[in-house]
Amino acid sequence: MSFNKITIVGNLGRDPELRYTPQGTPVCSFTVATNERRKDRAGEMQDSTTWFRVTLWGRQAETASQYLTKGRPIYVEGRLRVEEWTDRDGRQRYTLEVHATDMQFIGGGRGEESGPPPAKGAAADQPEAELSDDDIPF
């Protein structure tokens, strides 16, 4: 048995890009940055940012495209893949890619008191859990 699940709480690095497959299925892509603060060897606090490329499908893709903007906080669950590619200079590069299965808005956006209802995947009939600042691990 194997299991691949990742949970990310971070901020959008760019506005979402919505497109459609030839069959008409919505696909939305965007980047999410997570930040971690830790001490270096000299005892100085250093910020470390990790970037993830996120892909959403179906109704969640359309919802993300409609409501998300660069800088907005978001909660994403999905499966993690590492994509390997070669840049223009011939160097091997790696990208962390998340195929999202669930997404929830955190906080308000575009002047709203709170975000729109969370977009749910297959678990749409389950009760929704609200995140508070105490639930976020950083």
What average pLDDT does this structure show over 72-101? 93
Question: Amino acid letter at 105?
Answer: F
Is 132 a member of any domain? no
- What is the pLDDT, as a whole number, of residue 113? 39
| Mean pLDDT, residues 47-67 | 93
Entry pTM = 0.69
What values do phi and psi take at 54, rounded to 5?
-120, 140
Number of domains composing the chain = 1
Q: Print the domain residue range for 93.
A: 6-111
Confirm whether 33 is domain-assigned: yes
pLDDT tier, 108 (very low <50, low <70, confident <90, very high otherwise): low
What CATH number does residue 58 fall under?
2.40.50.140
Q: Is residue 57 part of a domain?
A: yes
Quick one: pLDDT at residue 130? 46
Higher pLDDT, residue 16 or 45:
16
Confidence (pLDDT) at 95: 86
Average pLDDT over residues 99-113: 73
Q: Compute the average pLDDT of residues 106-124.
A: 49
Chain mean pLDDT for the chain: 82
Mapping DSSP to helix (H, G, I), strand (E, B) and coil, where does residue 32 land? strand
Q: Is residue 29 part of a domain?
A: yes
Please, are residues 44 and 57 in contact by the beta-carbon 8 Å criterion?
no
Q: Can you list the positions of beta strands (E) in the chain?
A: 6-12, 17-20, 26-39, 45-57, 73-86, 92-105
Q: Does some domain include residue 47?
A: yes
16-39: average pLDDT? 94
Q: Is 88 a domain residue?
A: yes
Q: How far apart are CA 41 and CA 45, in angstroms?
A: 10
